[in-house]
Chains A and B, each alone.
Chain A
Amino acid sequence: MNPQELIRFHRVEKRYGPLRAVRQADFSIRRGEVFGLVGESGSGKSTIANMLIGLTPPSDGTISYMEKPLWRKGSFHMPRPGELQIVFQDPQSSLNPRMTIREILLEPLYAFRAAERKEKGSPERLASLIKQVGLKEEHLSRYPHEFSGGQRQRIAIARALITDPSFLILDEPTSALDVSVQAQILNLLKRLKEERNLTYLFISHNMSVIRYMCDRIAVIYKGKIVEIAPAAEMFRKPGHPYTRILLSSLPGVYGKARDPLSFAPPVSEEKADACIFYEKCPLRRERCLEAPAFVTWEGDWGGACHFRN
């Protein structure tokens, strides 16, 4: 096993009855990288986050952190409380409006024993933490409604950092924020990552943000990961047709994409063993009735498409 591998998803499935929300997810996240997960609504990206953070168990497969499975017999165990943390999309509802900022920040520490809690939650540490995310010490005694969306997201980030995690899941952290505030938060996230040696799973539907933030990117469609590539390569020459369509759909501030591609008119019947993208793929052929395997194309780059394989 690769000592650089922090997280490993091995053939992970999540089913809700007949619906397969996540299909055969197989990928790893390396220490120190920003791993992007991009997909549209219903793609399963949030389900992957939920499984990784302990909110919902996988139906099949293993999710490991530093080689140890996180889920054992249906219950979730982190190697140490607060080792993995998550920042959610909506700064409005991710903070309890009836708690002060201090209480909000201290809450994750209740998974620790009293002694460690006192140490990690000391007034000095709190003050230092709140300043690191760009707020002031006096803000600790205020309530969430007194802050703007961007500030609340800073608070959510501080809360995620209080346990000194090694790994952070960022689930659409700036999607609800204005462009100018988004820039501040993205800068903050990058700085914190450097300062604290963090590893990120960055989930978004916004390709520009993903390109800016991530080292490697996975594209997910209807529960299946169809391509994983280093960011620069993926944007320069996307491999999978769905990735190409995603990039073509981006409203470019400075012009259109090369090689634009669009969805094909959908086929009506369900083809059970076909490629996940068969229904809307503009490049589909008969071969595609048999699902392609996920294959490494070049170095860090891989995907599931007959035409690239």
Chain B
Amino acid sequence: MQEQAAVRPSLPEGEIHPVWHKVKNNKLMLAGILLIALLLLASLLAPLLSPYDPTEIRIAERFQPPSPDHWFGTDEVGRDIFTRILYGARLSLGIGAAVVVAAGLIGMILGTISGYFGGTVDQVIMRVMDMILAFPALILAMALSAALGPNLQNAMIAIAIVKIPVYVRLARGQALETREMLFVKAAKTFGIRPWRIIAKHIVPHSVTAVIIQITLDIGDAILLVATLGFLGLGAQPPTPEWGAMISVGWKYLLDYWWYPTFPGLALFLASGAFNLIGDGIRDILDPKSN
């Protein structure tokens, strides 16, 4: 029996993984990653970085401009804005991620089922998704959270619902493509159960696309949460959520400029950073950018 020793190794010794190579070269993307890392760290270390309590009211210190005591100034009841922004980061980042991951998971499951089985199941799911997509995202989110009751949990549910169709479409497209592949046909000939085929073959092939979409969507989700908060439909005072802070603070833009400005800046940086990361991921995966 002849030798079959020649097997190509995964990577030649001592070579960088090509994806990491491309990441290193994309400066903007690195900046985005750095920014988010900093924000995350700051939000987690909030108790260490600031001696203040985000909800503690000190009327005597209201509307103080930025100073060594209050780096970003204080709001209308004397709360330290820097502290509120740090704790607000926890909310924004955490909720943004949670909502998008939830939408991604649910959407992936629905989309995979829809794409793999086709037929009536597919039609029903897709028509429901069409209904959701018929509305502009913000309008629908507003309507849903107003209907459910204006608080942070319901805002999260509303945003998740609005985001689900994208993932359903994505996962369905992947499922349609993957189910035609020869290894799936082979699996069908073994006589194993359909759910096994879906779990082992179809789902893993859509996970990458879903993860990428999630990363791209987090920035948008953060903005949506803030917008709902701004409109009074999401986080309610005294929760230190950036959008809620701006909703109170915008009135004071001319007199106490720091009040809405810093939360606004934080929003801009957070969602902008995620957008840079998303662009970077897209560039990496685009074969033409080689």
Contacts and interface: CB of A to CB of B under 8 A. Distances in A.
B24 interface: no
A147 B7 contact: yes
B183 A86 contact: no
A287 B109 CA distance: 60
Contacts of A194: none
A78 B205 CA distance: 29
A96 B183 contact: yes
Given A85-B189, A108-B190, A111-B191, A98 B10 contact: no
A148 interface: yes
B60 interface: no
Contacts of A94: 182-183, 186
A78 B191 CA distance: 9
Interface string A142-173: 11011110010010100100010000000000
A134 B1 contact: yes
B120 interface: no
A107 B192 contact: yes
Interface in A85-103: 85-86, 88, 90, 93-96, 98-99
A154 B4 contact: yes
Nearest to B196: A110
B139 interface: no
A164 B269 CA distance: 61
B185 A55 contact: yes
B192 A86 contact: no
A98 B204 CA distance: 8
A239 interface: no
* Chain A interface main SS type: loop
Nearest to B186: A94
B209 to A, nearest CB: 14
B188 interface: yes
Nearest to A88: B182
Interface string A60-97: 00000000000000000010011001101010011110
A282 B200 CA distance: 52
B201 A146 contact: no
Interface string B170-196: 000000000001110111111111001
B118 to A, nearest CB: 15
A136 interface: yes
Contacts of A98: 204-205
B9 interface: yes
A295 interface: no
A275 B56 CA distance: 94
A86 B186 contact: yes
A147 B192 CA distance: 26
Contacts of B17: none
A111 B186 contact: no
Given A90-B182, A94-B182, A142 B7 contact: yes
A282 B193 CA distance: 50
A91 to B, nearest CB: 9
Contacts of B1: 134
A163 B182 CA distance: 19
Contacts of B187: 107
A146 B7 contact: yes
Contact of B189 (A53, A95, A145, A147): A53
Interface of B: 1-2, 4-10, 181-183, 185-193, 196, 200-201, 204-205
Interface of A: 53-55, 78, 81-82, 85-86, 88, 90, 93-96, 98-99, 107-108, 110-111, 134-136, 139, 142-143, 145-148, 151, 154, 156, 159, 163, 184
Given A96-B201, A151-B7, 9 more contacts: A54-B191, A81-B190, A90-B182, A96-B200, A107-B187, A139-B7, A143-B10, A146-B10, A147-B7
